[in-house]
Structure 1
Amino acid sequence: MPKGSEIADHKYLIKQLPTATAFVNTDFELVYASDKWLSQHNQNPCEAFGKRIDYLYHINNQLVNTLGDCIIDKIDRTFEECKYDPSGKKWFEWHCNPWLDSKENVIGLIIRTEDVTQLKLSEINLGRLRSKLDIISEIGKIGSWEYDLIADKVIWCGVTRKIHEVENNFEPTLEQGVAFYKEGYSKNLISMAVHDALTKGKPYSEKLQIITAKGNEIWVQANGTPVYEDNRIVALRGTFQDINDKVKSEHKTKANETLLRTLIDNLPLNIYIKDKESRKILVNKAECEYLGISDVNEILGKNNFELYDKDIAETLNREDQQVMDTLVPILNKESRIRNKNGETTTFLISKIPLKDEFGKANGIVGISHDITKLKQNEAKLRDLVNVASLQNKKLINFAHIVSHNLRSHTANFSMLLEFLVDEKDEKEKQNIMGMLTNASNNLMETLENLNEVVAINTNIGLEKKPIALYDKIQVVEQNLTAFLKSHNATIINDVPIDAIIQVVPPYIESILMNFITNAVKYSDPKRPPLVKLSCRKTSGSTILSIEDNGLGIDLKKYGDKLFGMYKTFHNHKDSRGIGLYITKNQIESMNGRVVVCSEVGTGTTFNIYFNEED
């Protein structure tokens, strides 16, 4: 063991050595070490000095034997040692040299260690990378190649040879490599690309076709880039990939996409796909036309709020989110959608969740069928059915009236004629003849009333025209001057002077005349008659109100019979029960309606709705 004086003089120098250096005696005890050593091996000098290094650093027996060989054989040794510490796996390179005294006797070892962890990891990673590259190259059918311009030599890797279907020892010339390309476009393009790369330093990447050594035609991706030395091109290097399956798949996919696009663009349906944020990522021609867009790119990526007004967009968003959250489709839901131009369309909408491979919705597929015309036709058909039903009811009622009234007149005539035949007294015969004349007059009046009803219901082609309502009321009032004066009646015309209604001119005067004369005729004898006319506008209609202070009508008792033919509700000598029936027919023939409000002893108000839309 070396004496302390042999180390003491050099302690300060050893301590500052820039390398991790240790002095070990022949018993492998650590005599002294540099700060770098202690730091590198996480040792405290007080605890480390004098201890065997195989215990300190857990060196295995093989390494201990190597250290022993250094001492015995007085030779240098370098070896690699791996160990674990809290930070992970580490590698150290040990350089061992015999430690000699002045007489050249071995008194121990001088050991330097170098942390080669990063280098080792790099080597491992590089090996892994090479292995992965080999695997990727094989799986991806990607080969490499190089053309040495100085040696005029082409080198292909194994994968490149395999793609060309040549022997493993095949070494092509540049001309032979180009000759594999298919005549025409592919060969011309690769020839120009190689020439430009060699003369202009222009890299290339082209999708081309080759004919392999076995005669198979395949698609390849040929890439090449120049290599420079001293600012001059000395080589070309590149990759060579078999993309035949990919190109065939692309062609097939493109054909399928073309077929699908042709199909969805020619379907009489609006078809679209939305992502999770309700942005449209696919639309067909019908959807573009509905939104007034000629270029599909103007729609793609836009959400509901960018395509519709806020209220419509909020409704559509709720539906989209419901389908994606519940994975339950919405099928054939009738919806009215308003676009940005204010046009409203009725759609039969279906929304289906678009699921990913995990069964979660990442969007929706939407199908909308425009049923606006169908709904309009449905409404027209409903109106026709209602009209037909109403006309049928009128026909049945009319037939009943005709049957009843004409039967009554016929029975009266028959009875009077029997009396006339049997009667011997000339004076009584003259009396019967008078009754026959009255019966004849009554029959004519009945026929005239029935004829007027028929005329109203058959004159469906009468044209409606704009009429100044205020002026028409003034005309009717002037025509009834004597009648109103004789009954001490007052007419209040509160209709605006500029009020215009669309009506059949011959009917409006008759309607006004009937309601005003009825109001006066059936006035309360306790007070002078007062008739007030006013009007107001509503959506699609003008409402004329005719209010009186007459006797009033018990609507609970007579409401369903009020507008029936020959129905009377007061004991008035002039009551015939035909006026309101005819008036109601006139109003309905103009697509209008009449509503009555009445209170016995107070008066009656008739509200007449004149249809302004048709």
Structure 2
Amino acid sequence: MRSIDTYGDQDQVANIDQLLHDANAALWEYNIQSKQLKCSLGFYHALGYEPTDLTITYTYFIHEILYHEDVAMMLKEANTCEPGWSKCLELRLLTKNGYQWFQNTFRRENATAVLSGSLVNIHQFKVIEFELAAKNKRYENTIKSVHSGSWEIAVPGQELLLSKEAGSILELPSNEQLLIADLVAFFVPEHRPVLQNSISAAMSIGKPFEHDLQLRTCSSSLIWVKIKGLTSIDEYGKALTVKGVLQNIDQSKRKEKELRTSFEFMEYQNKRLQNFAYMVSHNLRSHVNNLQYLVRMYDELEEADEKREVFIHINTISDSLSTTIQHLNEIVKIESDIKQEKVPIFIEPVFKNVIKALESNIEQSEAIVLHDFSACPSVNYIPAYLESIIHNFITNSIKYRHAGRQPVVSCKSDIIEDHAYLIFEDNGIGIDLKRHGNKLFGMYQTFHDHADSKGIGLFITRNQVEALGGSIEVTSEIGVGTTFKVKLSRV
């Protein structure tokens, strides 16, 4: 058959054939009873052939052209098509270039055994459809694997839509709808203006954004998320939608922070080792050089009195060398002690043990020692370190008390930004931090004319605290007193 056999005007038939060819479409007619199939020229052209290349019969179509998995569906729909009904199927047909997708629309006229229909090549559309489906699948899998969700704002009505995954990140009850302001309110106060301004800029001028921000979920969990936004515009450049992704990056953020902390700690430990090497080299070399000089002098002298005097100097330097070695051993002990496991310790019993050990010093100085550990009763720490820290700071406060008033020393605990602190305050003579602040915790550094000052206590204490990742802050005023704020462990 040509396009329409009943058309008598051959020019009209030719025009219709050309139209169908341009549209990559064809017409066909099938008699259910006789199984006779008639096809237009466009049918051949749609398959990539000329009518002289092959003859399309019902049997040939079913067995050679129609994809075998689509045969049963095609026959079922054709044989069950009631008079006056229309049906539409998507089929795969073998063309000259391989199998391609076609849309087959047909209809059965009233009380006849004849089906007539049209065939349109939809292969390109199906390929795009499959590619989009595959991309969506990959996107969904990516979303699931990285715990991400999508969100979308329809700019004209400012309607916010959240995917199921995005709602899961926020721990929203199922099917709960949010306004833009509601979404922004999830974020911590300091991050809300950042997100609000970015969303506003995306809707007004189409500016994309990407931020790592913190939010608090419906169950009050504080997490880090990455939120991205891109604007779709119309032909006039006006924003239509803002679409984006919400990704839970809390674990990666925490690992990043831990890695950064570990790196900083490694740098600090390396610096400590360098300082220790310098101390060993400098302090021991000084003593050894003096000893070598005096020993040579001793050997060269002949008078007994002169030898006796040099020997006294040798003993003095020997004692000093012994003390230096003892101090260096204490530093080495800190490095080995940090390998011990931290354990939960109640602060007050440790404090009372220290006070008992210092009882004679406290009575002799008539000092008042106060304490309050209610804000943070216990810490995870190395017991010997905690005792040493309390001992050194209280001893230091008593040692450098003000001669004109009764000494008062206060020790209390606190929790600041998830860390335990010990705070020591006194009303002693104070320290000139402008002059001595950068040397305050140095080895053998003294700032007062006190007979017992050796300049080792604060040095050891700082090393103990910093070896466990803590720090010490100091504020002081000459003639008023000093406060040491010791950061211990995370609570």
Q: TM-score, normalised by structure 1?
A: 0.59
| Mapped partners of 2:378, 2:151: distance in 1 | 51
Structure-2 residue corresponding to 1:5? none
Equivalent of 2:130 in 236, 250, 255: 255
Please state if 1:538 is matched with 2:412. no
Contact 1:272-1:366 within 8 A present in 2 as well: yes
Name the CA shift for 1:432/1:219 in 2 (closer, same or farther; >3 Å). closer
Please state if 1:220 is matched with 2:107. no
Please state if 1:207 is matched with 2:121. no
Identical positions, percent: 26
- State the AA in 1 paired with 2:106: A
Please state if 1:456 is matched with 2:334. yes
Equivalent of 1:576 in 454, 457, 465: 454
| Mapped partners of 2:177, 2:91: distance in 1 | 41
| Mapped partners of 1:209, 1:403: distance in 2 | 88
Alignment of 1:476-515 (within 5 A): 476-496=354-374, 499-515=377-393
Cα distance, 1:409 vs structure 2: 1.4
| Mapped partners of 1:569, 1:450: distance in 2 | 21
Equivalent of 1:397 in 275, 287, 303: 275
Equivalent of 1:245 in 121, 130, 134: 121
Stretch moving more, 184-193 or 587-596: 184-193
Cα distance, 1:576 vs structure 2: 0.5
Cα distance, 1:610 vs structure 2: 1.6
Stretch moving more, 443-452 or 477-486: 477-486
Cα distance, 1:413 vs structure 2: 1.5
- State the AA in 1 paired with 2:165: C
Q: Deviations over 1:288-346 (max 9, x none)?
A: 389369xxxx88x966769957344997675345324313333x543445554535234
Alignment gaps of 5+ in structure 2? 1-14, 45-56, 64-70, 94-98
Contact 1:547-1:603 within 8 A present in 2 as well: yes
RCO (CA 8 Å, sep 6+): is it higher in 1 or 2? Answer: 2
Cα distance, 1:353 vs structure 2: 2.4
- State the AA in 2 paired with 1:345: W
Structure-2 residue corresponding to 1:517? 395
Cα distance, 1:547 vs structure 2: 1.7
Name the CA shift for 1:303/1:182 in 2 (closer, same or farther; >3 Å). farther
Contact 1:584-1:593 within 8 A present in 2 as well: yes
| Mapped partners of 1:366, 1:560: distance in 2 | 50
Q: Deviations over 1:535-558 (max 9, x none)?
A: 222221222222222211111111
| Mapped partners of 1:557, 1:142: distance in 2 | 97
Structure-2 residue corresponding to 1:560? 438
Report the RMSD for the aligned CA atoms in angstroms: 4.7
Cα distance, 1:164 vs structure 2: 7.4
| Mapped partners of 2:92, 2:478: distance in 1 | 105
| Mapped partners of 2:262, 2:348: distance in 1 | 33
| Mapped partners of 1:439, 1:523: distance in 2 | 31
Cα distance, 1:206 vs structure 2: 4.7
Structure-2 residue corresponding to 1:322? 201
Q: Deviations over 1:209-267 (max 9, x none)?
A: 799xxxxx9653123475xxxxxxxx469984424224x34532332233323443455
Contact 2:413-2:422 within 8 A present in 1 as well: yes
Name the CA shift for 1:314/1:508 in 2 (closer, same or farther; >3 Å). closer
| Mapped partners of 2:194, 2:296: distance in 1 | 80
Name the CA shift for 1:221/1:583 in 2 (closer, same or farther; >3 Å). same
Q: Deviations over 1:482-530 (max 9, x none)?
A: 2222222232223339711222101111111111112112222223332
Structure-1 residue corresponding to 2:254? 376
Alignment of 1:18-167 (within 5 A): none
- State the AA in 2 paired with 1:207: L
| Mapped partners of 2:58, 2:281: distance in 1 | 107
Q: Deviations over 1:587-610 (max 9, x none)?
A: 112222211121111222212222
- Secondary structure of the corresponding residue to residue 121 of structure 2: helix
Structure-1 residue corresponding to 2:303? 425
Contact 1:308-1:338 within 8 A present in 2 as well: no
Contact 1:490-1:531 within 8 A present in 2 as well: yes
Cα distance, 1:573 vs structure 2: 1.1
Structure-1 residue corresponding to 2:165? 288
| Mapped partners of 1:474, 1:598: distance in 2 | 26
Name the CA shift for 1:189/1:461 in 2 (closer, same or farther; >3 Å). same
Alignment gaps of 5+ in structure 1? 1-133, 153-158, 166-176, 212-216, 227-234
| Mapped partners of 1:259, 1:185: distance in 2 | 27
- Secondary structure of the corresponding residue to residue 328 of structure 1: coil
| Mapped partners of 1:401, 1:210: distance in 2 | 84
Bigger Rg over Cα: 1
What is the number of residues matched between the two proteins?
A: 437
| Mapped partners of 1:511, 1:413: distance in 2 | 35
